[in-house]
Structure 1
Amino acid sequence: MHEILSSEVFPDQRLPVAGDRIELVADVAPHSHAFFEIAVVLAGRGIHLSAAGEVPLQRDSVVVLRPGEWHGYTGCDGLVVRNAYLGADIFAFLSGALIPGDTAPYPAHPAVQHAMRLLEASIDEPWTLDRLAAAVNLAPSYLIRLFGRTAGISPMAYLNRIRAERAAGLLIETDLPIATIGAMVGWHDPSHASRRFHAVFGLSPSRYRSTFRP
């Protein structure tokens, strides 16, 4: 099943909010994503597919999805949907946005984009700041500065976030043991994995699975 990552939806990682309007003229295959999604039906009819089952949709229907949940659409008949996308750490972002200061975004630096793609493609690798900086031909301190300007977080904090997002999807979509999921995303120490996951979602992996999986 395809998973849509945050970097595919939020061009500016400092502002994890986006939206679009989509007219669905064909079925949408089940997929998951690493962020919150709120979908409001503007017109038409269809059926929403998820782990909770099949739900008929019509004008003014609302669908709310948490990070890691899968969904799709079928039987679309003139179905028009307005989507709002919110980053997994949106609440922490909003808290930070209340702090006075210069929060104007900078254009994404090519080296930062390259670093993000490397981390996303090899999420289970034992990345360190020095290794990542060498891979994009920058000094570690300069990479941290560029990352902070364009993404609002450090490279290792970004890695932690996408690992947590990937783990959230696996917790909901599979029956794999939590320790196995942690290892799959690069966290080989279960207690370390639990702390890192909690830092992003505010819940332990086991609580996240029991709360959001039907």
Structure 2
Amino acid sequence: MFRSDGLPVWADRHELTADVAAHDHDFLEISLVTQGRALHIAADGDHPIRPGSAVVIPPNQWHAYGECEDLMVFDCFVAPELVHSTLSFLDAELPLMSAMHTSTLPLPQRVQLSPGELSAAIAELYSMSDTTAARRSRVQIVGHLLIYLDVLNRSWVADDSVRRRPRAPLHPAVSRAAKAMEDEPGHSWTLAELAALASTERTYLVRLFQRDLGVPPIAYLNRLREQVAARLLVQTDQPVARIGTQLGWEDAGYFARRFKAAYGLTPSAYRRRALEGQGWDHAPAAAESGSP
């Protein structure tokens, strides 16, 4: 997806005349709709997109397009090394970027631009895709990318008043426990084990998780497992039962029930619809149960 000049940013227009099956990339992708309509399909369900719709897709997160009608997408691709090194400061500056790093499995972020914002965004994308210059400047290209991200961020923040409130940093105990679960989602974590790892008392850890993440620790683990399962179902051909087992759900029936409660589909149906580029009728509900 990147040109031979070695620069870690590229932008290009694509006309999608047919549905696009589920796929993923190891780079950050930002898709801006300039014409037509479709459904953007990802782990959190299917969402209508139209001119002005922008979708920020984190690296290694699958997505697809369905019901494409005269769809024109202006894509921007950003190499992961640029995001993690040169642009690492953006997490502190742009809530849109920090929202993608709240867990090891961030979901796409969606923005709807006004006509004026859409024009401004397209101008920056054309600058990033300009091939008339003999040599594209890394500084200039990254500058255009920063302006583009700022346009998207301003619209994203204004879209929801809750997003205007700065997100407080996680309590160290929450960070330690959450990272442990994210590193080993298949481990049979107990509240006592997590509290000991975080050097705090169990009841207090539950209160901290509720305050900082909105769910207790075991519910966070269940949500994490469901997200990992969704990713493995789409990105691998592992048997469904094996996916459940490696995530700590030895009983295939229990795994299927938990997954359906979260995504509205059995694991097999979810895999089939994703790989066929189809959508589903609702966004998945977050699992709040404390049962692992």
Asked whether the two chains share a fold, i.e. TM above 0.5, the reply is yes
For normalisation by structure 2, the TM-score amounts to 0.44
Structure 1 unaligned spans of 5+: 1-24, 29-42, 72-77, 91-103
Partner of residue 145 from structure 1, selected from 207, 217, 221: 207
Q: RMSD of the alignment, in Å?
A: 4.0
Distance in 1 (CA, whole Å) between partners of 2:211 and 2:195 is 16
Contact kept? 1:147, 1:153, Cα under 8 Å:
yes
Gap change, CA 1:150 and 1:187, over 3 Å in 2? same
For these two proteins, the number of residue pairs brought into alignment is: 155
- Three-state SS of the structure 1 residue aligned to 2:34 is coil
Distance in 2 (CA, whole Å) between partners of 1:47 and 1:169 is 27
Distance in 1 (CA, whole Å) between partners of 2:227 and 2:275 is 15
Contact kept? 1:108, 1:150, Cα under 8 Å:
yes
1:52 deviation in Å?
6.5
**Match of 1:180?**
242
Distance in 1 (CA, whole Å) between partners of 2:237 and 2:76 is 34
Distance in 1 (CA, whole Å) between partners of 2:170 and 2:258 is 26
Contact kept? 1:167, 1:182, Cα under 8 Å:
yes
Matched, 1:196 2:238: no
- Three-state SS of the structure 2 residue aligned to 1:153 is coil
**Match of 2:42?**
66
Gap change, CA 1:105 and 1:152, over 3 Å in 2? farther
Q: Which moved more, 1:137-146 or 1:61-70?
A: 61-70
Give matches, 1:27-46, under 5 Å: 44-45=12-13
| Displacement over 3 Å in runs of 4+ | 25-28, 46-53, 78-81, 83-88, 104-107
**Match of 2:144?**
none
For normalisation by structure 1, the TM-score amounts to 0.58
- Three-state SS of the structure 2 residue aligned to 1:176 is coil
Contact kept? 1:70, 1:173, Cα under 8 Å:
no
Distance in 1 (CA, whole Å) between partners of 2:212 and 2:182 is 17
Give matches, 1:74-153, under 5 Å: 79-80=75-76, 107-153=169-215
Letter in 2 for 1:138: T
**Match of 1:165?**
227
Gap change, CA 1:128 and 1:59, over 3 Å in 2? closer
Among all aligned residue pairs of Structure 1 and Structure 2, give the percentage whose two residues are the same amino acid.
Answer: 35
Letter in 2 for 1:69: W
Distance in 2 (CA, whole Å) between partners of 1:114 and 1:63 is 37
Gap change, CA 1:45 and 1:208, over 3 Å in 2? same
Distance in 2 (CA, whole Å) between partners of 1:47 and 1:111 is 48
Letter in 2 for 1:125: H
Contact kept? 1:148, 1:154, Cα under 8 Å:
yes
Contact kept? 1:115, 1:136, Cα under 8 Å:
yes
Structure number having the greater helix percentage: 2
Query: Which structure has the bigger radius of gyration?
Result: 2
1:55-98 Cα distance to aligned partner (Å, 9 max, x none): xx886167824126268xxxxxx9548x897977x9xxxxxxxx
Contact kept? 1:182, 1:190, Cα under 8 Å:
yes
Distance in 1 (CA, whole Å) between partners of 2:175 and 2:193 is 16
Contact kept? 1:44, 1:58, Cα under 8 Å:
no
Distance in 2 (CA, whole Å) between partners of 1:26 and 1:146 is 39
Structure number having the greater strand percentage: 1
- Three-state SS of the structure 1 residue aligned to 2:199 is coil
Structure 2 unaligned spans of 5+: 1-6, 25-30, 44-60, 65-73, 78-95, 101-105, 110-165, 277-292
Distance in 2 (CA, whole Å) between partners of 1:191 and 1:66 is 24
